[in-house]
Amino acid sequence: MADIAFLLIIFFMVTISFEVDKTQVTLPRTEIRLEIPKQSAYVSIISSGQIRVSAGDEISVPVPGPEEVLSFAAGVVQRDPTKAFVLKADSDVPYRYVDSVIDALKQAKAQVIYLLSDQETVDNQES
Amino acid sequence: MKLKKGNVSDEIPTASMADIAFLLIIYFMVTTTFAATRGLDFSLPQEEDTPPMVEKEEAVLIEIQAGGVLIVDQKPMLLDEILEYLEPKLERNPRKPVIIRPQQNAAYGDMVSVFDELRQAKDKIGFEVKNISIPTQREIDMFWF
């Protein structure tokens, strides 16, 4: 019994991943979903437009607006120019918030942005 | 005073090991969150000073209005019809630029749906939409008008 228990413990220890951003959002659903590199920088936007950022190795912190996203992203890109950014935005968020964040990331010369999404399934399409 | 001798076992007591192990299992089970770690990738152009100049007339313009209404080249269209509309155009010019332009109050989810649909072009119609751009409002103000 103890052997099985320890095997399970090892499984959980190996698979555990510490989420840097615990913001609860309803992600958009897509059929194409590519694996996001680990340690990517996160920018999350909840439906009210509140933005939080994380460079990938610490818990995300709220920022007042897109200008701060630009300075945050510029700092991240300066440290690692190939760093991937993950945009975790609520499906219902008005596009102007996303637009300003994408614009900030573009100005910071980010190379790639991943739009975090859930899997689109046949059931979702029907409903 | 006499001390009791001989009752001390020379083995490590392991009876409580399983209890500790299960406590740890419960801890890991409770704290494990299956985080979404997948999404659509979106590469950005690298030379900020020379944005890819796209003639508006040559490109296919997909406008997304609030409420999810799609206007493709001034014509309202459903999401499923976009690739059908693009197919002959991509056949003539595989590098045909497609511009996604959501209105400021459109939902982010609608933009992602359109982007996802375009990315599936290779599977659905056999042509890849190689040139997808999502200009930001600042770029539109700077370079278009």
- The answer to whether residue B25 is domain-embedded is no
In CATH, A2-126 is 3.90.1420.10: no
- The answer to whether residue B31 is domain-embedded is no
Q: How confident is the model at residue B19 (pLDDT cuts 50, 70, 90)?
A: confident
Q: Specify the 3-state DSSP secondary structure of B79.
A: helix
Question: How many domains does chain B fold into?
Answer: 1
- The answer to whether residue B40 is domain-embedded is no
- The answer to whether residue B74 is domain-embedded is yes
pLDDT one-digit tens code per residue, A94-107: 999 999 999 999 88
B32/A106 touch (CB, cutoff 8 Å), yes or no: no
CATH number of the domain within which B95 lies: 3.30.420.270
- The answer to whether residue B99 is domain-embedded is yes
> Does A89 contact chain B (CB < 8 Å)?
yes
ipTM over 0.85: no
pLDDT one-digit tens code per residue, B23-78: 888 888 887 766 667 888 888 776 655 555 655 567 888 999 988 889 988 889 89
Give me the domain span that covers residue B79.
60-143
- The answer to whether residue B85 is domain-embedded is yes
Does the predicted TM-score (pTM) go above 0.80?
no
> Does B93 contact chain A (CB < 8 Å)?
no
| Sign of the dihedral through C-alpha A56, A68, A88, B143 | negative
State in Å, rounded, how far the first CA of chain B is from the last one. Answer: 102
DSSP A2-49: HHHHHHHHHHHHHH----S--------EES--EEPPTT-EEEEE-TT-
- The answer to whether residue B111 is domain-embedded is yes
- The answer to whether residue B91 is domain-embedded is yes
> Does A35 contact chain B (CB < 8 Å)?
yes
